[in-house]
Amino acid sequence: MGHGHRPHRHAEIRHAGPARLLQRRCALARPLRFPPARHADPVRRAEPNLTSVANGRCRCGAVSFELTAEPHFTSYCHCEDCRRATGAPGVAFVGVHDSEIVWRGEPSGRYGEPPVTRFFCDTCGSPIGYRDARLDGRTYFYTAVLETPDRFAPTVHAFYPERIVWLDLHDDLPRHDRTTIDR
């Protein structure tokens, strides 16, 4: 959390009262339909969440969150769309249930290719993850936005035939031609 104490626009929200918070939330354009804002609870915001198993953030810190349970899913994706969305030659994900996310700063940037909506920090541009309308109640974060990505190794490859050929990963993980979860 090297940037955790850097002041940014969301720090203002953190120390604001509920009325002010509401005001700011309404002022944010295009709010994402995330579950009710558990992070609005001042006690939860003031104290470290002892049940958290991982933290994640964008590069500027405006977007940050805690996970209160181990991800139920980890994967690589080699599809062209994920590559373009992140600028990376391949992408790793963790999947969590929405109820296991405590947002400290929600991502206000999003890009929709229904049924998939990708979200990102509209301050620094960091890609954060995506949701798929066919997989209700779940959010998929790019593993690289977590503070401890080493702990969440992918267990499967999705869209393996679309990979960039020089991305030569030596593992025995299952390789799927398309998605790894039925939709």
Residue type, 5: H
Q: Which residue from 79, 96, 101, 128 is in contact with Zn ion, where contact means CB under 5 A?
A: 79
Q: Are 142 and 76 in contact (CB under 8 A)?
A: no
Q: Which residue from 40, 88, 124, 181 is in contact with Zn ion, where contact means CB under 5 A?
A: 124
Residue type, 27: A
Q: Which residues contact 138 (CB under 8 A, 6 or more apart)?
A: 95, 96, 97, 98, 131, 132
String of DSSP letters for 104-143: EE---EEEEETTEEEEE-TTT--EEEEEETTSTTEEEEEG
Q: Which is nearer to Zn ion, 99 or 155 (CB)?
A: 155
CA angle 29, 23, 21 (to 5 degrees): 105
From 46-54, 80-88, 103-111, 168-176, span contacting Zn ion (CB under 5 A): 80-88
From 22-30, 46-54, 56-64, 162-170, span contacting Zn ion (CB under 5 A): 56-64
Q: Which residue from 13, 54, 60, 102 is in contact with Zn ion, where contact means CB under 5 A?
A: 60
- The answer to whether 82 contacts Zn ion (rule: CB under 5 A) is yes
Q: Which is nearer to Zn ion, 19 or 32 (CB)?
A: 32
- The answer to whether 123 contacts Zn ion (rule: CB under 5 A) is yes
Letters for 9-48 (x = contact with Zn ion by CB under 5 A, - = none) are ----------------------------------------
The pair phi, psi for residue 53, each rounded to 5°, is -110, -15
Q: Which is nearer to Zn ion, 41 or 133 (CB)?
A: 133
Residue 70 in 3-state DSSP?
Answer: coil
Q: Which residues bind Zn ion (CB under 5 A)?
A: 58, 60, 62, 77, 79, 82, 121, 123-124
